[in-house]
Amino acid sequence: MGDWFQTIVDVQATPQEAETLAADVRSWLISSGIVSAEPTHCVLGADVGHPPGPRAETAVDPSGWSVPWHDGLAITVGRTVFDAGQGDPMAVTCPHCSTTTHLADERFELKYEVWEPFREVVRGWDEGDDIVIACPACTQPVEPTSWRWTDDYFVLAYLGFTFWNWPPLRPQFVDDLARHLADHRTVLLEGKL
Ligand SMILES: [Zn+2]
């Protein structure tokens, strides 16, 4: 059995405010007992994270899960490609004309000539470059963070909260967390490694 994660991504946080917002949410999660203050080796993809706190169960729907669980929360600050971990991106939608460009064929294999410029956008974000390409349909330039990936396959952003191997997060909890992000729009990514 692999590891699974749920990541709440703040898609509106600027690089300037990401650190402060991360600290605010961390304080709230600790004071409400969702996670513990003392960082431990409880997450993947980062050195340390916050293990579940005494009231962690209030954040999740534990039915069907063996509780307690032990893995924790990793907070990511800074330019990041958040993704769902498996498979290929299927399609991407332009924020200007709402046209969806299909990146894969009917056998779910990537069409490389279509995918290539979008691959550059994602790679660029990972490496610190803002690569602006034109929408294939309306030809207007699109900022890297503005593309809407089908099933939120990618989210290019500056702040994310990844819960490793937690039971499904309650929608109410996700809303509460977003409220501590200045009511920013958030995306919940779920995936397996
Ligand atoms: Zn367009």
What are the mean pLDDT values of the chain's consecutive 10-residue runs (193 residues total)?
90 96 98 96 89 96 86 96 86 97 92 96 96 97 96 95 96 96 94 84
Closest CA to 76 of 38, 36, 21, 122: 21
Coil vs helix vs strand at 104: strand
Query: Is residue 8 within a helix (H) or strand (E), and if so which, with residue range?
Result: strand 4-10
End-to-end CA distance of the chain: 10
Axis crossing angle, helix 15-31 with helix 171-179, rounded to the nearest 10: 130
pLDDT at position 1: 59
CA of 140 to the centre of ligand 1 (A): 6
* CB contact at 8 A, 72 and 116: no
CA of 15 to the centre of ligand 1 (A): 26
C-beta atoms surrounding 151 within 10 Å: 12
C-beta atoms surrounding 116 within 10 Å: 11
- Radius of gyration of the chain from Cα atoms? 18
CA of 41 to the centre of ligand 1 (A): 44
CA of 182 to the centre of ligand 1 (A): 29
Say which amino acid occupies 93: T
Distance CA 184, CA 188 (A): 13
CA of 120 to the centre of ligand 1 (A): 18
Closest CA to 80 of 45, 128, 24: 128
Distance CA 24, CA 5 (A): 22
CA of 98 to the centre of ligand 1 (A): 6
* CB contact at 8 A, 95 and 133: no
CA of 95 to the centre of ligand 1 (A): 7
Whether domain 4-79+154-192 has CATH 1.10.10: the reply is: no
Distance CA 90, CA 191 (A): 15
CA of 102 to the centre of ligand 1 (A): 13
What is the domain partition of the chain in residue ranges? 4-79+154-192, 91-150
CA of 132 to the centre of ligand 1 (A): 13
CA of 91 to the centre of ligand 1 (A): 13
CA of 100 to the centre of ligand 1 (A): 8
pLDDT at position 2: 81
